[in-house]
Amino acid sequence: MLLLFSPVAAGLSPQTAEAWAGLTYAQSLLDEHACSRAPGACTVNTSDTFTGSGALGYPNVPVGTKRPVACASCGHGSHMLPYLVGLYGARSVIEVGVCTGASVVSVLKTHGDSIDSYTAVDPWGERRCNPGCGCSSQMRTIAGRFPVLKLLQEYSVPGARRIPDGSADLALICVVQVVIRRPASASSSSWRPLASADL
Per residue in 171-180, pLDDT (tens digit) is: 888 744 444 4
Predicted TM-score (pTM) of the model is 0.71
For residue 13, the enclosing domain spans 2-33+74-194
The pLDDT of residue 176: 47
The pLDDT of residue 4: 43
The pLDDT of residue 45: 41
Q: Do residues 40 and 61 lie in contact, with contact meaning Cβ atoms separated by under 8 Å?
A: yes
Query: pLDDT below 50 — which residues of the chain?
Result: 1-9, 43-57, 175-188, 196-199
What's the structural domain count of the chain?
A: 1
Residue 172 lies inside a defined structural domain of this protein = yes
**What are the φ/ψ torsions at residue 133 (nearest 5 degrees)?**
-120, 30
The pLDDT of residue 127: 81
d(CA 143, CA 150): 7
Task: Tell me which residue of 185, 35, 8 sits closest to 97, measured CA to CA.
Answer: 185
The pLDDT of residue 71: 67
The pLDDT of residue 114: 95
d(CA 100, CA 124): 9
The CATH number of whichever domain residue 19 belongs to comes to 3.40.50
